[in-house]
Structure 1
C-alpha cells in the first residue's frame, strides 16, 4: 500500500512552492489547490509582456505578483506562490509580505533530481533556456535547504521521490478561528487570583461547580450548555492564583470553557521558566502561592498558560475575545504584532505619572461589525464603546468581577469580597472613550481611506479623496442625517448589443442573468424622472421615537445625493397620505421607499434648458440652413451629394433628439403636475425589506396605493427558459421606447448575492440624450464601452445601501448607519463614464 504524506498548510495564509524549473511545481499546485489560489510567476510575466518566458519582464511580473498576493492576504484568502523561490531574497520578500498581513507562511519544497528537471524542460518547446539554468537553480536550492526553516516559515515540507506524487495537502484553520462555535457564551473579565469571587460569579451565571475530594473547585458545567470564555489575567495580585488556574484548567479540559492569554500569564510563564523578569504588579504573590503547590500542578499550569493563544474569533466572526482588545484588521490573524496587541493593547511607548504604559484608545476608533470583548485596563463599570466592551472591573482592587452574557449582551457581576491588592492607579471611568450619544456624528467617522464590511458586497474600499468629495456635498447640502438612512446605488447598463441600430437591447440582459443561473426576471418600466428616496413616519410621535427628530417633521424626500426636494414639507405630507395603506398592511409606523419623482423637468428644468435645449435649438436652426446652401450648390453643378445626405441625416437626428428630451417635459406648478413612482419598499419597522423580499412582493405592496400622486410602474415577469416570454418582453420594450419611454430595468425576481441587482436597457431614442443626436453613426465605437468599473461600483454601492438599512432597522447608532450611506455618495465620485 502506498504511503501518503500528509501536509498541513495555513488555510488563510501563504504557501511558497519551492523548486527548480521542471520540478513539477505547477502540476503540484494545480492538483492540490484551487485555480484562483495559485499565483504563478509565469502567469504574471505573461500578463505584463504576453510571453511567460520573457525574463526581461521579470521585475514587472513580480511587482504584479506581490500586489495580487498582498491583496489576497489582506482579504484572508489562502494564497500559493508558484515560482522557483530558490533564492533567499525572493523568499524573504514574500515572507515579509505575509508578516505585513499578519498571516502564517509555509514552504513546500519539491526536491527532484536535477536530471529529471532537465529532461522535463527539454520536452517542453516553450522552455528555451539551457540545462545550466537548472544546474544553477539546483545549487541555490541545496544551499537554501540548510537554513530554510530559520527564514520565518511556520513549517517547511520537503518532498522527495514518491512523496511528491502521494502528498495530501490539508488546509488548517488558525487556532484562533473557532467561528464554528456559536455559544451561547459567558465572557468573564480579569480574575487576578480571586478564586472565591470566580466561584460566586459562575454560580450566579448558572454553572454547577465541580469539586475534588479536597473540596477544591476543579471544573464547572452549565446545564443549558453555555460556554465560559475567560479574557486572560487569571493570575497575580489575588489571594488564590492556583485555585483560579485549577478551576479554569478543568473547565477548558472538559470543553466547558475557552481562555485567551493575558499579559500576566505571559510574564508568569517566563518567571517560572527561569527568565529574568521584574517581580512586581502581583507576580511575587503568584510565585509564592505556586511554590506551595506540588511540582506536577505547577508544571501543568505552566504548560497550560504557555499554550494560551492571543484571541478567539467565535460565532461566525461576530464575536472576538482578546485580553487587551483587538482592532479589526487583526481579527483571525497570527503574528507577533497581533499577539502583542492582544496582550498589551496599542501602547504608545510612553508611561504615565504612575509608571504604567500609555495606551492608544483603539476602541474609540473601532468600526468593525464583530463585538470585541476584552479586559486588561480596569474600569469602574463596563461600558460599550462603539462595538466593544471592557470587562475588567477591578475585582482584585475591591471592585467587581464581571461577565457578559452573549448574545444577550447582559452584564452579570459579583462584588469583591474584599480589596486584595492596592491599585497603582486609582480606578476611574475610561477617559475619552465613552459611548457617544446614539445620534452623534464625528467627521472622523467618514474621513480618510476606509474599509467597510458589508454582508452583500464583502469589504468595500472608500478612498480618502472620494471621502473628501462626498464630505463637501454631504455637509453643505444633505438633509438632516437622522433621516438619511439610504442612498440609491448606481446601475450598470446591459452589455452592448450587436444588433443593427441598437446599443442596448433586452436580450443581453436576459442572457447575462440566464448564465448566472437566474430563472425568472422582472422587467420594470424605467421612469424618466429624478431618483428620490422617501423616508416617512406615520406621525410626529413616530418620527421622534424612531428617528430622534422632535421638530415636528414627519419625514423627508431627498435626491440620490441626499438633497431635499422642494424644501420637501409639502410633498412629505402628500406622500404620507398616499402611502397610508402600507403603514397598515406592513404594521409599521415608518417606511423608506425607493422612487422616481416625475416629470424629469420638475427638478431638471434648468439642466434641460441650458444643456439639452440649447443643443437642440442650435442643431435644428443651423442644419436646415446648411441643407439649403447645399441644395443651391447642387443647382450650380457642384457634387455635394454625400455631404447633403449626411446633413439631412443629422437634421433628422437633431429632430429626434429634441423629441426625445421633449417627451419628459410637462408643466408643473409646485406640486401640481408632480407624481411619485415608488418601485421598492426599502424598509419598515424592524425589517430590511430590500434585502429579504422579492421584487414581486414589492410591486404587490405598491399596487395597494390608489392616490393620484402615485404613478405605478408598469412591469412584466419573464421566465428566462421561455423564448416566447423573452420575445414578448422585447416587443413590450420596443413599444414602450417607441412611445417616448426611457426603457426598462431587468432584475432577478429574487435578488442574489454577487449578482447585478438590476441592468438598465435604455431605448434607442432615449440614448440620443445621453450620447448626442448622431450617436447612431458611431455604434461600433460605442459598443466598446468598458463596463467593468461601472459594474463593480453598482455591486459595491448596492451592498453598502443594504448594509445601511440593516444597521438602521437593527437600531445601531447613527454613525454606523451614516458611514455606509456616506460611502455610497463617496463612491459616486469614482472616475466612471457618466453616460453609462
Structure 2
C-alpha cells in the first residue's frame, strides 16, 4: 500500500502523519522520451500497411457517440431536450447539497441513487407522414439536394474505403489536472488551441483515474466525453479505461457512508474517497450522464498488440479469461446493489507493483497469455514510486522524462506522477 491509496481503519482522534514506505529502486527499467508529434495526416500507419489487431470489448466512446452530435463546423453540441431513463446500477439518484468534511474518516451523505443517462430524442413526423392523407402536392423542380448539416466534416481528406486507422496514443493518470491535460494534448497535436479534436483518424486511450487530488476532475471527464464525440465525427476515436478511482468515485456517490467490511476495519466509500484525495467540488457537480458514462467504461482493452490496463496487477484474471468476460463481469457488478461486492472490486484493482522485481515478467506473461498482446501498458502506479525517484534528498520534484519501460521491456508505466509534481504523460504507441 502506498501513500496515495489508503483505506480507513478504526478511527483515531489524532492519527498523526502517515509514514511513507520505502520502495525498492528498479535498476533494470529505462525511460523513454518520445519525439514531439506534429500531428497525423498520412494515410498509412507508420508508413507501412496496417495489420495490427484492435479489440476493446467495450468502447469508452460508444455511449457518447450516440448522444453527442457534430454541428456543421465539426464541433460537438450536447443533445437538448432529452429524457432520462433508469439503469439498474443507479436508479433515481440525485446529488444533495454539499457534504461537510472535518478531517475525520466519517461524514454524512444525503444522496439517493441516480438514474442512468439514456437520452431519447423527441419523436417528430417525417415530411412524408405529414403529407399523408392530403392531396398530392404539385410537382416542381427542386434542384440539387442541400448538404446534410449533421454530416461529419473532416479537418483532412475523408478516409477512403479500406484506409488503415490512425496512430494510437495513450494518456496516463490525469487526477483532475485539466489544464495540464489540455497543454499536453495540444503539445502532441491532438487538440487545437480551442480544445477541440484536431488529430483526424488518430486513436486515443485514457488509462483511467480522471478525478481526485487535482482541482477539476469533472472538467477532465467533460473534456474526454467531448473528444470522444469529436474524434468519432473525424474518423478516429477517443476511449477510456475504468481506473480504481472511477470505482471509488462512483462508490462514494452511490453508497456514501454506508459501512463496508474491509480488512482494515469497518469503512465506507465516502471515507476512503476523501482519504484518497476526493474533491467535494467534483461530487457536487457529478450528474447522471457522468455516472452513466463512467459505469460503462471497460476495464481492459487490446489495441495494436498492446494490452491496456489501468492497474499493474494480475487481479484482472479473477474476473474472466477473456477481455469481454472481464468487462462484462465488472459491468454486471456495477449493476448490482451489493456495496461489499463493489468494495471488493475496488480493492482488487487498487493492488499494484505486480510487474516489479524478478517475478514481474512472469506476471506480465500470465496476463498476455490470457488476454493477448505482446506488451502491457498501464497507469496507476506513479513512476516516481516504481523507480524510487520520490525519495530524492535534494527536495527537487522527480524528473520524469517519459514513460517507464521495465519487466524485461514487457511493461510500460504511464503514470508520470502529476500529483507529485511529476508529469502528465501522453505518448504514441509503440514506445521504445
> Where on the TM-score scale, by shorter chain, does this alignment land: which range?
0.3 to 0.5
**Greater length-normalized contact order (CA 8 Å, ≥ 6 residues apart):** 2
Higher helix share: 1
Which structure has the bigger radius of gyration?
1
Task: Output the TM-score relative to the length of structure 2.
Answer: 0.42
